[in-house]
């Protein structure tokens, strides 16, 4: 009976406690569960399905650009990891080590991969010999392990799923073009699939990836106006190649080192989706990665013909390529509405006896609650259109949030006041010195998010030291 079924539980309002709201949504939308191992999480089927859809979108884009999927070992010998000094220093605090194999102590301890640059380099040192072997355009789907001190669902796991692309090129120009291309792939995914507007830019020297010459990033703004680094692409130059003795014979019969990139996006992006689009009723999922794009709810399903017509709508939408399901349980319609709102299903279709008489159904948008009447003969045409409208509405709302909470400042005090009273991104001029970057963290509580590709001249002086400014920077508080 309905009163014996699971009722939709109330979640904390985001205005009351955003962190608690976020955790409530993760659990009550059945995305994730805590495991018995501290810092490790279980991705439940609905949460994993979101990742599968993201994976499908990215994998297609990678392969269209000529990349091939490979798989590297999970364990990295300590001696291999230490070949690139900056890289190992950057990851040392997060490394987990295996020292026993069965009942025997290992001759050399093994690191559970926090990332796989060293494994790819070791492989390439054995198989790359000639300019004809280049480029190498590889991608790996796997999990990695980083021993984070503080963990949160999706945002920081000790073990998390991701893809890591690794490429090798004959010239610096080719490698830089690859780095920029892959960042744009991530930006395209965020904006045109996940409905998340981004700021594209390059990380400062302090914030770049360990061992990289340049790190490019896309930064997104969450509903609470904090930043989330949502995808990064790194240019390594030939530093790793030299450390791992990767050389090849070029067209002039000279021995030279190739140039390398890596780039990655992880399940952390699901946390970004939740915090960009969610509301006090739960998830709001972008239609293009929602596991269920349309939920059909029969109204007064005990009446003749209602369930049959609802099943007919499901089959028609499936044939049109829509991810759709219907709920024929004995829970009340109100319960079902709340359940699928919690799960963020983009579009709800209601059909009851009166709708059948009028040869129509009612469509309800999850993003804004708008109700529309759809003629049944137009179903296959109208539903995809409505899903596109939902995507555009979600993107527009998120972009407005970013634009409304992006400010400019000319002093550290202004930055501090903006962050404490409004939050968001603050744009300032900067001299480029790390000391000034550290001072911003200490005095205003912000970190540099990126040096945006789209530069603005906001003045001639650094916001911290008043010396001549070199560039404009986005600052903010980040997850």
Give the tens place of pLDDT for each residue, 68-83: 999 999 999 999 988 8
Q: Where in the chain is the domain with CATH 3.30.110.30?
A: 406-476
Q: Rg of the chain's alpha carbons, rounded to an integer?
A: 25
Q: Where in the chain is the domain with CATH 3.30.930.10?
A: 18-277
pLDDT at 2: 39
Average of pLDDT values for 111-119? 94
Q: What is the pLDDT of residues 313-324, one digit of tens each?
A: 999 999 999 999
Q: Where in the chain is the domain with CATH 3.40.50.800?
A: 294-388
CATH class of residue range 294-388:
alpha beta
CATH superfamily, domain 406-476, is C-terminal domain of ProRS (3.30.110.30)
Which neighbouring-strand residues pair with 161? 143
Q: How far is CA 116 from CA 122, 162, 215, 345, in A?
A: 10, 12, 17, 36
pLDDT at 84: 74
Question: What is the end-to-end Cα distance of the chain in Å, rounded?
Answer: 43
Out of 88-97, 206-215, 408-417, the most confident range is: 408-417
> To 10 degrees, what angle do helices 172-192 and 45-64 make?
140
Per cent of the chain over pLDDT 70 is 98
H or E segment at 184? helix 172-192
| Fold that domain 18-277 belongs to in CATH | BirA Bifunctional Protein; domain 2 (3.30.930)
Contact of 288 with 193, CB cutoff 8 Å: yes
CB within 8 Å of 308: residues ≥ 6 apart: none
pLDDT at 9: 62
CB count within 10 Å of CB 384 equals 17
Angle in degrees, CA 183, 144, 289, rounded to 5: 55
Contact of 314 with 296, CB cutoff 8 Å: yes
CB within 8 Å of 121: residues ≥ 6 apart: 83, 84, 240, 241, 243, 244, 246, 260
pTM: 0.94
């Amino acid at each position: 009976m309905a009163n014996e079924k699971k009722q939709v539980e109330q979640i904390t309002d985001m205005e009351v406690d955003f962190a608690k709201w976020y955790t409530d949504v993760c659990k009550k939308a059945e995305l994730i569960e805590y495991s018995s191992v501290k810092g490790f999480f279980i991705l439940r089927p609905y949460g994993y399905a979101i990742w599968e859809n993201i994976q499908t979108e990215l994998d297609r884009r990678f392969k269209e650009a000529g990349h091939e999927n490979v798989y590297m070992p999970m364990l990295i010998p300590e001696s291999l990891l230490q070949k690139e000094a900056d890289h190992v220093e950057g990851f040392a605090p997060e490394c987990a080590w295996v020292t026993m194999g069965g009942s025997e102590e290992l001759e050399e301890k093994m690191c559970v991969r926090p990332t796989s640059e060293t494994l790819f380099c070791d492989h390439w040192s054995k198989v790359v010999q000639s300019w004809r072997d280049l480029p190498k355009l590889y991608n790996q789907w796997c999990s990695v392990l980083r021993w984070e001190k503080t963990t949160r669902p999706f945002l920081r796991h000790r073990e998390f799923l991701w893809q890591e692309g690794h490429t090798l090129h004959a010239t610096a120009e080719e490698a830089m073009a690859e780095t920029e291309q892959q960042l744009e792939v991530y930006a395209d995914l965020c904006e045109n699939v996940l409905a998340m507007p981004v700021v594209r830019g390059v990380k400062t020297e302090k914030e770049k990836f360990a061992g990289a010459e340049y790190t490019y990033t896309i930064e997104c703004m969450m509903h609470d106006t904090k930043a989330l680094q949502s995808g990064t692409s790194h240019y390594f130059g030939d530093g790793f190649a030299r450390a791992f003795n990767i050389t090849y014979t070029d067209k002039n019969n000279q021995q030279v080192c190739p140039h390398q990139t890596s780039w990655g996006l992880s399940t952390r992006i699901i946390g970004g989706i939740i915090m960009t689009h969610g509301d006090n009723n739960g998830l709001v999922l972008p239609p293009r990665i929602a596991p269920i794009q349309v939920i059909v709810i029969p109204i007064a399903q005990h009446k003749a013909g209602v369930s049959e017509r609802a099943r007919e709508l499901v089959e028609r939408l499936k044939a049109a390529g829509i991810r759709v399901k219907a709920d024929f349980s004995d829970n009340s319609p109100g319960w079902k509405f709340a359940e699928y709102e919690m799960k963020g299903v983009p579009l709800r279709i209601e059909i009851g006896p009166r709708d059948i008489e009028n040869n129509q159904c009612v469509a309800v948008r999850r993003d804004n609650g708008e109700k529309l009447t759809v003629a049944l003969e137009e179903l296959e045409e109208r539903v995809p259109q409505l899903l596109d409208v939902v995507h555009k509405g979600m993107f527009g709302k998120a972009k407005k949030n970013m634009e409304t909470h992006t400010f400019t400042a000319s002093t550290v005090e202004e930055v501090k006041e903006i962050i404490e009273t409004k939050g968001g991104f603050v744009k300032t001029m900067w001299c480029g010195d790390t000391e000034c970057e550290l001072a911003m963290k200490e005095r205003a509580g912000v970190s540099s998010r990126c040096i945006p590709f789209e530069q603005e001249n906001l003045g001639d002086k650094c916001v911290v030291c008043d010396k001549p400014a070199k560039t404009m920077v986005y600052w903010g508080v980040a997850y």
